[in-house]
Amino acid sequence: MFKALRRERTDKSFLFIFFGILVVCIAVLLVVALFVLRVKTPEVKLRSVKMKSLKYSFWPPSFNTTLSAQMTVKNPNFGYYLFEPSTVSFLYGGSRVGASRLGKGEVKLLTTATLSFGMDVRSNSLPEGRNTLIRDLNSGILKLSASGSVSGRMILWKIVNQSKTSNIDCSMTLVLRTKTINDLVCR
């Protein structure tokens, strides 16, 4: 009688341990699955902008510059990212002064792809009338910004096929004296 009771008790604790381990395993798998399957937005930035040539005149106020830039597409997901062709625009005082068309590509899981491109910036596309160009040319520093968006699909095995769009939003300064692009900051 006493022995049987003890046997039953050990059987029961074995079952408790077994189900306990099972529950913990399922919980861990769920957490891993949620973590792996949660699709985050890729991060698109300009990593560098270099000046290849610069021409400017104070009267009529004008500047033309050729830049070479590198854009990075960082894929923080466990699937691969297929992105479509995109356009990156450069702006001065809110007006577009240059644009480049970039090709499509693929970024493997947890990696960063780099796209290099050239950009011709021409101030003659600025709207006529009052603008800050004369003042900025005199100060020797022109503020430029870059904008655009990259769209694509995040593919994770056969489970996830989700569309994701990332924006490029960067600012920089063009310094006439040194003929350089400084203070590149992307948000």
Ligand X SMILES: *[C@@H]1O[C@H](CO)[C@@H](O)[C@H](O)[C@H]1NC(C)=O
**Under rule CB under 6 A, residue 161 binds ligand X:** yes
Tell me the C-alpha distance between 89 and 77, whole Å: 27
| Residue 32: its H or E element | helix 2-37
Q: Is 140 helix (H, G, I), strand (E, B) or coil?
A: coil
Nearer to ligand X, 116 or 163 (CB): 163
Query: Which of residues 2, 94, 124, 177 is near ligand X by CB under 6 A?
Result: 124
Nearer to ligand X, 113 or 186 (CB): 113
- Minimum CB–partner distance for residue 161 and ligand X (Å): 4
Spatial distance between the Cα atoms of 51 and 141, rounded to a whole number of angstroms: 14
Q: How far is CA 81 from the centre of its chain?
A: 12
Distance CA 117, CA 71 (A): 8
Task: Of 160, 96, 143, give the one whose Cα is nearest residue 124.
Answer: 96
CB of 179 to ligand X, least distance (A): 13
Total binding residues toward ligand X, as defined by CB under 6 A: 10
Rounded to a whole number of angstroms, the minimum distance from the CB of residue 116 to ligand X is 24
Does position 56 bind ligand X by CB under 6 A? yes
Applying CB under 6 A, which of residues 36, 43, 48, 64 lies at the interface with ligand X?
64
Nearest-approach distance from CB 52 to ligand X, in angstroms: 15
Among 99, 153, 176, 180, binds ligand X (CB under 6 A): 153
- Residue 66 interacts with ligand X (CB under 6 A)? no
Give all strands of the β-sheet with 43-57 in edge-to-edge order. Answer: 43-57, 62-74, 112-122
Under the binding rule (CB under 6 A), the answer on residue 89 touching ligand X is: no
177 touches ligand X (CB under 6 A): no
Enumerate residues 6+ apart whose C-beta is below 8 A from 117: 68, 69, 70, 71, 88, 100, 102
Binding site for ligand X (CB under 6 A): 55-57, 62, 64, 122, 124, 153, 155, 161
